[in-house]
Structure 1
């Protein structure tokens, strides 16, 4: 626990909330003059035992429940970055999931320009794998240059995908399906993810692989066989990143090398110095 940083974050955000906005009145005579909600008022609004919030803000509440932290964060109107900080300061770990159900669904518009400027195959999807932006190189992978609305649903369930993603059953599906499971664990109320899971479980090829488990979390650095519509068979090396303001969203860049065999050398890991 980082008590100093935790106290500073909570005090600053608590001071911004007018008690009147929650039905409290300020004392008119001798009494408290500090800005914002009192610690007692926070307990009242969160329906917690008197003194609970004081313990949190003062740093004397080790291993505070994630539910308490989430309630405080929402009452104080924290954004996703502040939510990460709160969990790191209070628990020394990242949050168990996003603060708001709508988080991870949009990115700054400049990302389209950034993706357009990438020469390699590139696209951006949100936390449900709905496509947000892609470049021409990505669109060219698909018939009529029509990119799929949801990249995970396409990769897992579209018949064309099982042809284009070479050796789908061994090289792709066992690494894709655990990502779906992990996303649902973090976002159990996501309707899009739940529907994809339902469709996967109804698919005779995908269901057994999904039910068998697996531990793949992301494809960063993976190299997989891919049938390019224009360049023919080859290997796609994947670079994965996340826009910092959009938890769960992902930027995917595919570096494609034509050829049936892996004839190209793998670059060594990059290290400073």
Structure 2
């Protein structure tokens, strides 16, 4: 613990030392006018706490530091996403909530290339609200809905009539799984307005989903390795069994890289 505290102490001092206080609009009207050096008192003022409270953080002493306070520290010190992550992990052991979302179209070239090079299996990228942001050609051939405007896996699987025909054993093997995943996601990120709206839309629109939601309490974080039975036009409406595999690109942990592989047994 002491080594961890010492480490974050040194980082916080370094992050504070690199900032020119004269450039900060938050200190523009402070009297007397601060010098170039950003002090602990300045950071305390910018984050709305006492100097002693901020000093305890910078000294690496254990306190009940709130997430909102740490986010204000990150803003005051102009921390990058990686620096904010380091601060949160060192102080709370958790990842920070609500880092600014990057544009869905802003895909790392390596991730985009890997997706396009997949010619044996359908695969796609989705965000934390299950919006499909990119898909390979085979995914579009198996599941033409991904080519429609603003495709969303949950809306299609839970609300679209064709999903109930194409995903066999729809209620037990699809709806209950996906609603259990939505339950985890909604509770893991309550500040995600898009996710909350998606849950409301699905429950408002479909009586079966409302019934399953009210009678079930299962939670599922992901469907990696889950087996689905499909009946798709692409396969001449003959049954196929597939498994889904979910990967998280390290460059974009807000995205899921999903492969769909046929089972032969």
Question: Same fold by TM (over 0.5)?
Answer: yes
Equivalent in the alignment of 1:84: 85
Q: In the superposition, relative to structure 1, how do residues 173 and 83 fare at CA in structure 2: closer, same or farther (>3 Å)?
A: farther
Further displaced range: 124-133 or 140-149: 140-149
- Check conservation: 2:98, 2:191, Cα contact below 8 A: no
Distance 1:104 1:177 in 2: 26
Equivalent in the alignment of 1:269: none
Further displaced range: 167-176 or 230-239: 230-239
Higher helix share: 2
**1:53-98 deviation per Cα after TM superposition (whole angstroms, max 9, x unaligned):** 111111113442222222212333333333332222112x222633
User: 1:170, CA displacement in angstroms?
Assistant: 0.1
The correspondence for 2:212, drawn from 209, 213, 230, is 209
TM-score (norm 1): 0.81
Distance 1:213 1:109 in 2: 40
Gaps of 5+ in 1: 28-32, 259-263, 265-273
Equivalent in the alignment of 1:172: 174
Q: In the superposition, relative to structure 1, how do residues 121 and 70 fare at CA in structure 2: closer, same or farther (>3 Å)?
A: same
Q: In the superposition, relative to structure 1, how do residues 151 and 54 fare at CA in structure 2: closer, same or farther (>3 Å)?
A: same
Distance 1:11 1:21 in 2: 18
**1:131-153 deviation per Cα after TM superposition (whole angstroms, max 9, x unaligned):** 21110111112348735611222
- Check conservation: 1:112, 1:134, Cα contact below 8 A: no
Alignment of 1:97-246 (within 5 A): 97-100=97-100, 102-103=101-102, 105=104, 106-118=106-118, 119-143=120-144, 146=147, 149-202=151-204, 203-211=206-214, 212-231=216-235, 232-246=238-252
- Give the SS at the match of 1:205: helix
TM-score (norm 2): 0.83
Residue correspondences, number: 250
Distance 1:183 1:160 in 2: 25
- Give the SS at the match of 1:6: helix
| Greater RCO (CA < 8 Å, at least 6 residues apart) | 1
The correspondence for 2:23, drawn from 5, 21, 36, is 21
**What RMSD over aligned residues (CA atoms) do the two structures have, in Å?**
2.4
- Check conservation: 2:242, 2:261, Cα contact below 8 A: yes
- Check conservation: 1:184, 1:194, Cα contact below 8 A: yes
**1:164-205 deviation per Cα after TM superposition (whole angstroms, max 9, x unaligned):** 222110011222112222222343343432221122212101
Distance 2:102 2:39 in 1: 29
Gaps of 5+ in 2: none
Distance 2:103 2:58 in 1: 28
Distance 1:104 1:61 in 2: 36
